[in-house]
Every structure is written in structure tokens, then in C-alpha cells.
Amino acid sequence: MGVGIEVTNLNAWYGANHTLQDINLPIPANHATALIGPSGCGKSTFVRCLNRMHETNPIARVTGSVRIGDMDIYADASPVEIRRRVGMVFQRPNPFPTMSIYDNVASGLKLNGYSNRRALDEIVERSLRNAALWDEVKDDLKKKSGASLSGGQQQRMCIARALAVDPEVLLMDEPASALDPVSTSKIEDLIFQLKTQYTIVIVTHNMQQAARVAEKTGFFLNGRMVEFDSTHKIFTNPSDKRTEDYITGRFG
């Protein structure tokens, strides 16, 4: 089951560049929360702070606190532990090119030393079913490389790979921006199903997408969070002038 996320006074830097400033945000459990905003506004940096991927860049720095469930991720645990609880799907599908479809999906468990084959078979099947990919790949799970799938299939495989380690939160950084419309709608359907079991945070450039999949939406601008509210309110009656300008297409 998903857990809620409580972000308090989060600040992030790349070198001297203050990319996130005083972000405060409650993300509800078992819902999809969309983050929108123009390029470079900090929304990607924000989700990367939620699983401590931000700090993999040597010049990056973070202050503030992020609570996921009952755990303060910057105080109570190592990045490795957190990333097992907070899965991530990236903008471009990034399958492991040397691995079969099966091994790609099982990789998170296998690389952490999990080796019960019967259980792995089950987890791989369940994850691929959850990612709506099982029927398309079940016949060549171990024969075909993950990289030989189409872009949309690769992205769903990457979602299955993230689901296989059984996270509580799923971060998606523009998961459909590199995909065609058909694949995009499949990913959106998927988010719709997954959010009953996981807490989903999705960054998107596509406002219709945010409106379709998310209950809550946050609008980022220049490293600050301008407005956070129910998706319906953000898109029909935003309280901030800048949000209104953005969603009506006056800039961004």
C-alpha cells in the first residue's frame, strides 16, 4: 500500500544554482499527484529529491525534510534503502541493454541478492501484468533483450521493473513524453490502475495528462511551488494569477 509524503522547507541546489526554494507540500497516499510547470522550473529536481537521486550529482545539495510514511528520508535511512521504497520511472525508457525482459524486471531484486526462482517468476509475472505488458511479452521473456521492445513497451517494462521491488511510492518523471499517443494513453490507463495501490507523483509537461490522471496538482515556477490544490480547482479556478496564466497558455 502507498504512504503519504510530507515535504517541509525543502531547498535544493546544483552548484550555486538554487533550483528549489522552500517547498512545502503534502502528497496524499494512494492518489496520483501531478506536478506541472514550464521547463527548468524545478519539478524534476523535486521528484529526484523524493528518492535522493538528486544527490547522485556531486555538485548537488539539499536541505529540509521529506517524510515518507513514518520515515524522514534525509535523517533515518540510507539512499539505497529509500530507493527500494520509492520507485522511479524516468523520462526516457532506460532498460538494461544486456538483459532479457525477464532479467530487466527481476533486476532490482536479483541485484539485491534475492534468488528464490519460483518467487521471482511470480513477481515478474505479477509486475508485468500490473504494467499491462504481460500478454505482449510472455512468450519471449527470457529470449528477447529488453532493448528490443518498442519505446512504449520499454517504458511499461521499466514501470514493471520499478513495481517488482514493491515500492510504496512511484515517482514518474515525464514518463510519456518520449512516447507516441497510443503508448501514452496506455501509460495513463496504467497510472489510473496503479494509484489504487501506490502513491504516485507524476511530473508532466502535458496539462491534459495531469487533468486526466491526477487528483492533486502542484504548479511550479522558477524553483518555487506557486499553488497546490485539487486538480479540478487548479484547472478551473486557480487562486494564483501565475497559475492561471500558465494553464491558459499565456506563457511556458
Partner 1 sequence: MKAGVQQNKVRSAIRTMVDHLATGLAILATILVVAPLIAIFAYLIYKGASSLNLAFFTQIPKPIGESGGGMANAIVGSGVLLGVASLLGIPIGIGGGIYLAEFGRGTRFANAVRFTADVLNGVPSIVMGIAIYSLIVFQQKHFSALSGGVALGIMMIPTVTRTTEEMLLMVPNSIREAALGLGVPTWRSVLSITLKTASPGVITGCMLAFARVAGETAPLIFTALGNQFWSTSLNEPIAALPLQIYVYAISPYDDQHRLAWAGALVLIILIVLAVSLVRYVASRGILKGAS
Residues of this chain that interact with partner 1 (CB under 8 A) are 51, 53, 56, 58, 79-85, 87-88, 90, 92, 94-100, 107-108, 111-112, 143-145, 147-148, 158, 161-162, 165
Q: What does the block give as the cell for 59?
A: 555538485
User: Is residue 213 within 8 Å of residue 192, measured between CB atoms?
Assistant: yes
Cβ nearer to partner 1, comparing 78 with 249: 78
Run of H or E residues at 64: strand 60-68
In whole angstroms, the minimum distance from the beta carbon of 88 to partner 1 comes to 4
In whole angstroms, the minimum distance from the beta carbon of 151 to partner 1 comes to 13
Cβ nearer to partner 1, comparing 104 with 243: 104
Sheet containing 60-68, strands listed edge to edge, beginning at the edge strand earlier in sequence: 17-27, 5-14, 60-68, 71-72
In whole angstroms, the minimum distance from the beta carbon of 100 to partner 1 comes to 6
Give the residue from 218, 219, 209 showing the smallest Cα distance to 176: 209
Q: How far apart are CA 174 and CA 154, in angstroms?
A: 14
Cβ nearer to partner 1, comparing 143 with 241: 143
In whole angstroms, the minimum distance from the beta carbon of 231 to partner 1 comes to 26
Cβ nearer to partner 1, comparing 22 with 81: 81
Distance of CA 201 to the CA centre of its chain: 5
Cβ nearer to partner 1, comparing 99 with 226: 99
Residue count of the chain, please give it. Answer: 252
In whole angstroms, the minimum distance from the beta carbon of 212 to partner 1 comes to 25
User: Is residue 18 within 8 Å of residue 223, measured between CB atoms?
Assistant: yes
In whole angstroms, the minimum distance from the beta carbon of 191 to partner 1 comes to 18
Residue 27: which residues within 8 A CB-CB, separation 6 or more?
Answer: 4, 5, 6, 7, 33, 199, 201, 216
Q: Looking at the DSSP assignment, which residues form a beta bridge with residue 120? A: none
Cβ nearer to partner 1, comparing 14 with 96: 96
